[in-house]
Amino acid sequence: MSLRLLTGGEAVAHAMRQIDPDVVPAYPITPQTPIIQGYAKFVADGLAHGELIDVESEHSAMSAAIGAALAGARTMTATSSQGLALMTEVVYLAASLRAPIVMAVGNRALSGPINIHCDHSDAMLVRDSGCIQLFAENAQQAYDLMLIAPRVAEHHDVLLPVLVCLDGFTITHSAEAIELLRDDVVRRFVGEYVLPHSVLDAHSPVSRGPFAMPDTYFEFRVQQAQALERSLAVFQHVAAEFYEVTQRRYAPVEAYRCDDAERIVAVLGSTAGTIKDVVDELREEGERVGLVEITTFRPFPHAALAVAIDGADELIVLDRADSPGGTPPLRAEIAGSLYGSDVRLSGHVYGLGGRDFHPEDARQLFAREREGAAWLV
Amino acid sequence: MARLKTLVRNQRGEQPLRGGHALCQGCGIPMVVRIVLSTITRPTVVVNATGCLEVATTRYPTTAWNVPWLHVAFENTAAVASGVEAAQRALRRRQALPSDEDVAVVCFAGDGGTYDIGMQALSGALERGHRFLFVCYDNEAYMNTGIQRSGATPFGAATTTSQAGATGWGKAQRRKDMTAIAVAHHVPYVAQACGSYWDDLSRKVERAVECDGPAFLNVLTDCPVGWGHEPRLAPQLLEAAVESRFWPLYEVVDGRYRLTYRPRRAVDVEAWLRPQKRFAHLTPALVNKIRNQIDADWTELLARVDSSRTDEKGPDCDFIGGRL
């Protein structure tokens, strides 16, 4: 196994080079830019062969991606923050039109005020779009999930976009030791893109994106939701194959030292890495604590979460996005999941706009000494 | 140029846009679509903006389209077409498509989806040089949503958001010159056309789809509901637009302007304005203002045509008319 020092953005660009999609429409936005710049360099050097469409906005990036994917081309793109906000209309349409696009999302706060740093507000904006959303903990996971993503997106039981979410700067711009698979191993793992029907097929013309009135709209939505539910099993199947190739295990929920844990924290993204270290320390001190990291935020792994936290007294949910006037998205999801159980549920919004979350903050969290904590506002 | 017969049925003996759709009586859109698609002899995929054409032809589970058809949203038609076109290139390169099958990519959008909300995506796609044909069926307002003013609505026209009343007298601004905006992108082919001049439109489509790059067609299209005219008067009304020089027929090939149809004599603008309810409130002074603007625009267009002339021998224009 050979390790390379790469940022998460570079690792994702390498994944794109190795998958070698047919079409990549993209627009620059911090902190996604290293992904697209890295991929553009691979194209310029003849190491990747896709059509790079330098579109004039993220709205057009996703629009062109839909056109390309439905024409029968394997299509990938990447975005962040305001870019995702601008393309949101079309993200919903990509899911509805069952376009299996893979998109990396360098998670970043939404304006305003404008801020380029990490939180999950952008990803939560498209929570209900019908797309699959996978959250990476670190650069290696971002790379690996980019390789798993096309297999899930393009599976004929699914045919939905996959968003691979990697925390802005914390993952996109931080260098880590990454194991890249061999190019031929990636190509073999990902396989060919085979769409059931291409809009370029003039011999059997089909109308895509028709007008659906109250008598049919509901059926479209239900079928789309069912496909998203089916993707959970497909993800597990593809992850199992990925384990065979890499010995790296992925699951909808990663339960870290949750056996016999009394207190468990639930979180998305890179903060899981910080908390794992603290869990290790506290375990050495005899504390019965654990962590659940949600990898497939959509579809949400309700059953796997229930198994992971079975026996715990308290579940503390950390949300890196808020829902002003309501309940933050991850806590709301888990509250629904736990309804009727006697697990005590608490939670906090943390880290908005890139506010750091340190190991000592995690210690405070487990110790319930949260009054006046620096990471809370 | 397509023959009249093939305007009704394409080469496979099937209409590209069949009957049974829900477009209004006298609507000019299906005529434009059929002339465009029947002229193209290659397999064609249509990318359609949200609007009358999309809504009235594809109410699920029915469709009036006999060619591959894709609709995503209102403002992004040219961007979607960019993806389809790039996909075709990529697939041909990796031999996933037959190398001899060249599918034409044709967009249809109304003036809202072209002049206004669709302009950014169109501008980007024109600048990037995708090989596609964008056809704007320009009926000069948002007809599908109930006749609201657009950037294409002409000076003085009453719409539901630029009403005529005690103090209002319709749209107070001039229309946007979208054709000139397309020309400014240095694309190989741009033209203005009109559904009533089928031979002129068809010839333009032939030239447009032969281009190695983007082509833009701005086609004046009537709307009996929005313009307030009798459906049966549609062809004559469109002719009045052209003969009065309100809507000149010309093309711009590699930046060179050329009239494709020269009205034999100027018909007064009253012939264009009078049959339409949206202009019924106009005072003689306002009509005069419109008349003067048309004269000024025509003079400016002729100047562009003159300065585009080369020494090469070629026809001055394709058609000389005097239909009214």
Mean pLDDT by 10 residues, chain A (377 residues): 92 98 97 96 98 98 98 98 98 98 98 97 98 98 98 98 98 98 98 92 95 97 98 98 98 98 98 98 97 98 97 97 97 96 95 96 86 70
Cβ contacts of A66 on chain B, cutoff 8 Å: 72, 80, 83
Among candidate residues B195, B238, B244, the one with its CA nearest the CA of residue B218: B195
Q: Which residue of B has its CA nearest to A91?
A: B72
User: How far apart are alpha carbons B53 and B60 in whole angstroms?
Assistant: 14
Q: In angstroms, what is the C-alpha Rg of chain B?
A: 19
User: How far apart are alpha carbons B32 and B43 in whole angstroms?
Assistant: 18
Partner B contacted by A95 (CB < 8 A): no
Domains of chain A, CATH where assigned: 3-246 (3.40.50.970), 253-367 (3.40.50.920)
Cβ contacts of A67 on chain B, cutoff 8 Å: 47, 70, 72, 79-85, 87
Read off the pLDDT band of B320 (50, 70, 90).
Answer: confident
Chain A residues 194-253 with a CB less than 8 Å from chain B: 199-203, 205-213, 216, 220
Chain B residues 78-97 with a CB less than 8 Å from chain A: 79-91, 93-94, 96-97
Give the CATH number, domain containing residue B228: 3.40.50.970
Partner B contacted by A286 (CB < 8 A): no
Q: What mean pLDDT comes out for the span B126-151?
A: 98
Q: What is the pLDDT of residue A375?
A: 72
Which H or E run contains A229? helix A217-246
Tell whether the model's pLDDT for residue B162 goes beyond 80.
Answer: yes
User: How far apart are alpha carbons B249 and B269 in whole angstroms?
Assistant: 16
In Å, how far is A310's CA from the nearest CA of chain B? 44
List pLDDT tens digits, range B58-92. 999 999 999 999 999 999 999 999 999 999 999 99
> Any idea what the Cα angle at residue B125 is, between residues B85 and B208, rounded to 5°?
70
Partner B contacted by A69 (CB < 8 A): yes
Which H or E run contains A14? helix A8-19
Q: How many folded domains does chain B comprise? A: 1
3-state SS, residue A163: strand
Read off the pLDDT band of B311 (50, 70, 90).
Answer: low
Are the beta carbons of B43 and A202 separated by less than 8 Å?
A: yes
- Read off the tokens for B257: 């302007």
Residue B70 is nearest to which of A54, A61, A209, comparing CB atoms?
Answer: A209
Q: Which residue of B has its CA nearest to A95?
A: B72
Cβ contacts of A24 on chain B, cutoff 8 Å: none
Residue B47 is nearest to which of A22, A67, A69, comparing CB atoms?
Answer: A67
Strand partners, B70: A208, B47
Partner A contacted by B111 (CB < 8 A): no
User: How far apart are alpha carbons A207 and B45 in whole angstroms?
Assistant: 10
Contact (Cβ atoms closer than 8 angstroms) between residue A341 and residue A307:
no
User: How far apart are alpha carbons B9 and B19 in whole angstroms?
Assistant: 12
Q: What mean pLDDT comes out for the span B49-56?
A: 98
Contact (Cβ atoms closer than 8 angstroms) between residue A205 and residue A133:
no
Q: Which residue of A has its CA nearest to B124?
A: A56
B233-243 as b/e: b if 16+ CB within 10 A: bbbbbbbbbbb
- Read off the tokens for A195: 């769409």
Helices (DSSP H) in chain B: which residue ranges?
Answer: 4-8, 29-39, 52-57, 77-93, 119-128, 178-183, 198-210, 234-243, 270-273, 284-308
List pLDDT tens digits, range A230-262. 999 999 999 999 999 999 999 999 999 999 999
Q: Which residue of B has its CA nearest to A65?
A: B83
List pLDDT tens digits, range B190-214. 999 999 999 999 999 999 999 999 9
A24, A60, A103: best to mutate for the B interface, most B CBs within 10 A: A60
Find all residues with CB under 8 Å of B192, minimum gap 6, and list them. B179, B217, B218, B219, B220, B247, B248, B249, B250, B251
Among candidate residues A346, A352, A345, A341, the one with its CA nearest the CA of residue A376: A352
Q: Which residue of B has its CA nearest to A76?
A: B83
Q: Which residue of B has its CA nearest to A92?
A: B72
Q: What is the pLDDT of residue B266?
A: 79
Contact (Cβ atoms closer than 8 angstroms) between residue B27 and residue B224:
yes
Partner B contacted by A54 (CB < 8 A): yes
Chain B residues 35-54 with a CB less than 8 Å from chain A: 43-45, 47, 54
Are the beta carbons of A68 and B84 separated by less than 8 Å?
A: yes
Read off the pLDDT band of B11 (50, 70, 90).
Answer: very low
Cβ count near B69 (within 10 Å): 26
User: How far apart are alpha carbons B223 and B25 in whole angstroms?
Assistant: 9
Read off the pLDDT band of B145 (50, 70, 90).
Answer: very high
Tell whether the model's pLDDT for residue B12 goes beyond 60.
Answer: no
User: How far apart are alpha carbons A318 and A315 in whole angstroms?
Assistant: 10
Residue A53 is nearest to which of B60, B61, B86, comparing CB atoms?
Answer: B86
Q: What mean pLDDT comes out for the span B271-275?
A: 97
In Å, how far is B201's CA from the nearest CA of chain A? 24
- Read off the tokens for B172: 């107070």
Partner A contacted by B65 (CB < 8 A): yes
Domain housing B103: 4-321
Q: What is the ipTM score, two decimals?
A: 0.96
Lowest mean pLDDT of B89-93, B94-98, B178-182, B245-249, name the range. Answer: B94-98
In Å, how far is B306's CA from the nearest CA of chain A? 35
Are the beta carbons of A210 and B70 separated by less than 8 Å?
A: no
In Å, how far is A201's CA from the nearest CA of chain B? 7
3-state SS, residue B215: strand
Among candidate residues A163, A169, A176, the one with its CA nearest the CA of residue A355: A169
Contact (Cβ atoms closer than 8 angstroms) between residue A23 and residue B87:
yes
Q: In angstroms, what is the C-alpha Rg of chain A?
A: 20
State the virtual CA torsion across A319, A323, A324, A326 in degrees, nearest 10: -100
User: How far apart are alpha carbons B81 and B215 in whole angstroms?
Assistant: 12
Q: How many CB pairs under 8 A join A and B?
A: 169
State the virtual CA torsion across A84, A89, A91, A92 in degrees, nearest 10: 140
Residue A202 is nearest to which of B55, B68, B89, comparing CB atoms?
Answer: B68
Cβ contacts of B106 on chain A, cutoff 8 Å: none
Tell whether the model's pLDDT for residue B2 goes beyond 80.
Answer: no
Read off the pTM: 0.96
Strand partners, B252: B190, B257
Are the beta carbons of A93 and B72 separated by less than 8 Å?
A: yes
Helices (DSSP H) in A97-169: which residue ranges?
Answer: 121-125, 139-154
- Phi/psi region, residue B315 (left: phi>0; alpha: psi -120 to 50; beta: rest), is beta
Q: Are strands A132-135 and A296-298 parallel, antiparallel or unpaired?
A: antiparallel
Q: Which residue of B has its CA nearest to A66?
A: B80
